[in-house]
Structure 1
Amino acid sequence: MAADTLFGVHGAALQIRSQRMGVLASNIANASTPGFKARDIDFGAALSSLEGGNQGAVATATKYRVPLQTSMDGNTVELNEEQTAFAENAVQYQTTLSFLNGRISQITRALKGD
């Protein structure tokens, strides 16, 4: 049985959420770097593209953010927005991980005959 059959879309979702966490963390880390341009991954677009077989799905779905107000030094990171997005993504990552852990536990029990 293939992994995508066992785990459905959740394996790909976990991969994308993990990569998005890295992008958002980079934005937060560079909040005071002059000229830094904040980016984000469009989760829905990345997931659709990945399901369609596009191996560069995340790169294609990664876009620069359009800030409400650019700072004088050209930095486009809006720290409050980034922190909120990071926290939301972390909760979604944990939810997906919990689902996968439950599925793995279920498969393990089935294989053991419990």
Structure 2
Amino acid sequence: MSISDLQLFQALKSKMQWHQSRQGVLAENVANADTPGYAGKDLKAFSFQDVMAQRSVGLQTSRTSTSHLVGSMMRETGNVERDETTGFEITPDGNSVVLEEQMMKVTENQMDYQTVASLYQKGLGLIRTALSRNG
């Protein structure tokens, strides 16, 4: 099992891909700020629950006694057809493009991307530390 197969890292990679796609949509909005009749666009909000639901199917455990803990097990399925494209749903913004608002969104998107990238890097560092002390 590769480190990148862990659900945490898969979710963080999906979030970073979403931020990259959003940056492209926001850049298009900025580029068309002076285009007559252009309506600004934005990506549908990212949801970790949606990403995890696409990647795996949950199994509910059976409780045979009230003293048993309730839990669920996530497993990867090979027979579920998945759309492997990295595209995200683009939704109309509903407003004309305001350059200042778009630049604020670009900045916010960049900061959020850096935060997710930092979490990814810290997670890898924790795994390296755990593996190095294991020997």
Report the TM-score, using the length of structure 2 for normalisation. 0.63
Q: Which amino acid is the alignment partner of residue 107 of structure 1?
A: I
1:5 aligns to 2:7 (yes or no): yes
In 1: Cα distance, 2:19 partner to 2:86 partner: 13
Q: Tell me, which stretches of 5 or more residues in structure 2 are unaligned?
A: 55-81
Which residue of structure 1 lines up, in the alignment, with residue 119 of structure 2? Answer: 99
Is 1:113 equivalent to 2:115 in the alignment? Answer: no
**4+ runs deviating over 4 angstroms:** none
How much has 1:57 moved relative to structure 2? 7.8
Q: Give the root-mean-square deviation of aligned CA atoms.
A: 2.5
Q: How far, CA to CA, are the matches of 1:49 and 1:5 in structure 2?
A: 13
CA distance in 1: counterparts of 2:131 and 2:6, whole angstroms: 18
Structure with more of its chain in strand, by fraction: 2
The two structures have a TM-score, normalised by structure 1, of 0.72
Q: For residue 66 of structure 1, what is the aligned residue in structure 2?
A: 94
Q: Is contact 1:17–1:43 with CA below 8 Å preserved after alignment?
A: no
Structure 1 residues 63 and 57 mapped into 2: Cα distance closer, same or farther (>3 Å)?
A: farther
Give aligned-pair identity as a percent: 28
Q: Which runs of 5+ in 1 are unaligned?
A: 68-75
Name the structure with the higher helix share: 1
Cα displacement (A) at 1:6? 4.6
